[in-house]
Amino acid sequence: MAIALVLVLIVVGSVLFHFLSPWWWTPIASNWDYIDNTIIITFWITGAVFAAVVLFMAYCVFRFRHREGNRAAYEPENKRLESWLTIVTAVGVTSLLVPGLFVWSRFVTVPSDATEIEVIGQQWQWSFRLPGKDGKLGTSDTRDVSADNPLGVIPGDPNGQDDVVVEAADLHLPVGKPVKVLLRSIDVLHDFYIPEFRAKMDMIPGSVTYFWFTPTRTGSFQVLCAELCGQGHPLMHGMVMVDTEQDYLAWLGQQQTFAQLSTPQKTGSADQTPDRTMPSGLKVAAQLETVGSR
């Protein structure tokens, strides 16, 4: 008997928790409110099914509990009822799937005016690359990665010379402009995830993956790595600042290009975190390795 009451309490408690608890998603900062809406639809449909099934069980346990002299009914099948339940379920599932696939088609269709930017993951920091005045990112190769060229931009590619390189620092983006994020890793799997943007995607060494979004409000948003990448995984934080157009251009003006960073003067070395500067012997070994693997 206690179990019937507990089953009712589980339904009531779960519903109350859903509406009253302080734990909920962070205020959205991108165009993906479609995703939030799909989640809300899913909550309503699944919540109703959960409540219906568990309350029905509670009723059965209460109404048909064993008492002296009781005997169960004998009914092996009921084709009509089973068919109806199958149809209703199929309709319910379709009503989740259709909006879901509709939003997914938006998610995978990058608008033509989106600016391409690149995010590079490595154990355990984030770097970024923005196209320069030519609007094109230069090609890259993990085998070109070295202390002087931490992102592995192919030095001979003219498109890469004016690329803005942001190594292990914050990324800035202008508000309201769609961006296509190209994702790359030079060592293991990582995942570029900003909870407020609702979007994420793994980065795979040897491939370039992508997703797109439009930042809808200014502010600073923490980047989290969402794919286990070794012991430093939980500390692989970064920061994306969404600026007004004006602030963004001011920030952009202070950044250095690939050509500037790879000149012999090495003006950018002050930016490097201590653990990333390699001992000179190792640097040589790395360069030899690079040559050897060609």
Name which of residues 177 to 216 contact another protein (CB under 8 A).
183, 186-189, 191, 193, 195-196, 198-207, 209
Residues in 43-72 at the binding interface with another protein, rule: CB under 8 A: 45-46, 49-50, 53-54, 56-57, 60-61, 64-66, 70-72
Does 154 contact another protein by CB under 8 A? no
CB 181 within 8 A of CB 211: yes
Does 114 contact another protein by CB under 8 A? no
Whole-number minimum distance, CB 247 to another protein, in Å?
A: 20
Q: Which of 12, 78, 158, 217 binds another protein (CB under 8 A)?
A: 78
Does 290 contact another protein by CB under 8 A? yes
Tell me whether residue 193 or residue 251 sits nearer to another protein (CB atom). Answer: 193
Tell me whether residue 100 or residue 252 sits nearer to another protein (CB atom). Answer: 100
Does 80 contact another protein by CB under 8 A? no
Tell me whether residue 168 or residue 224 sits nearer to another protein (CB atom). Answer: 224
Count of residues in contact with another protein, rule CB under 8 A: 110
Name beta bridge partners: 127: 120
Segment 284-292 long-range contacts (CB within 8 Å, at least 24 positions apart): 286/146, 286/147, 287/146, 290/143, 290/144, 290/145, 290/146
Convert 249-276 to b/e letters by CB count within 10 Å (16 or more is b): eebeeebbbbbbbbeeeeebeeeeeeee
Segment 43-46 long-range contacts (CB within 8 Å, at least 24 positions apart): 43/18, 45/92, 45/95, 45/96
Distance (Å, whole) CA 254 – CA 222: 22
Does 39 contact another protein by CB under 8 A? yes
Q: By CB under 8 A, which span of 26-34, 132-140, 247-255, 256-264 interacts with another protein?
A: 26-34
CB 292 within 8 A of CB 284: no
Distance (Å, whole) CA 249 – CA 205: 31
Does 101 contact another protein by CB under 8 A? yes
